[in-house]
Amino acid sequence: MNGPLDPETRGSGDSASDLERLARAATIGFDASSDREGPDRDRGRVRQLLAFGLDRGVYAIDVERIREIVRVRETTRLPRSPDWLLGVVALRGEVVEIIDLRLRLGLPAAEPDRASRVIVLHGDGERSAGLLVDSVSEVLRVPEGGMMPAQGLDLLSVVAVCRRDGEFVSVIDPDLALGETDG
């Protein structure tokens, strides 16, 4: 096959390079910054996505999944938990698991800083979780036709790709990020 989605040619271990190859192959002409481009755009549903930074990349999550965004807090580590599960915090009377999204996606570890935030997701009644990210930047309005499935991309939780101001944005499915298996 030897294309941008071929595991043998994209197995560099560099997540940013993998994303760029996929996005070049799949999203030519799609841009979240403008819904006036392209006559075949689906002008029906517009998704609102919260854009955030991880490593040197831009990622996003559907705002409907987000309960709140908070500053990083000290966590209580759980015994025998995977590295990406930093621990738990008490937030408004509820125990919330904190997941280091960098580690969960296989990106290099980094210490949280002043720009780091935790994106707290709506719980399912049994479990509440927050995703530790490097920074939060903006809410994107993306027409459904402006997103392409991330088929063949070897990054856990990335389900779609779009563009914003010429920059690739990887859309995360939080349910996959919260999965039980260590990615």
Separation CA 146–CA 31 (nearest Å): 6
Query: Domains in the chain: how many in total?
Result: 1
Separation CA 125–CA 21 (nearest Å): 39
Query: Residue 4's domain spans which residues?
Result: 1-183
pTM, two decimal places = 0.72
Which amino acid, 22? L
pLDDT digits (tens, 9 = 90+) for 43-91: 578 889 999 999 989 999 999 999 999 999 999 999 999 999 999 999 9
pLDDT of 166 reads 81
Q: Determine contact, residues 117/71, Cβ cutoff 8 Å.
A: yes
CA dihedral sign, ordered 167, 46, 71, 73: negative
CATH number, residue 2: 2.40.50.180
Q: Please compute the mean of the pLDDT values over residues 32-52 and round it to a whole number.
A: 63
More confident residue, 18 or 120: 120
pLDDT digits (tens, 9 = 90+) for 132-175: 999 999 999 998 788 888 776 656 678 888 888 888 898 998 88
pLDDT of 115 reads 95
Question: Does residue 40 register a pLDDT over 60?
Answer: no
pLDDT of 152 reads 63
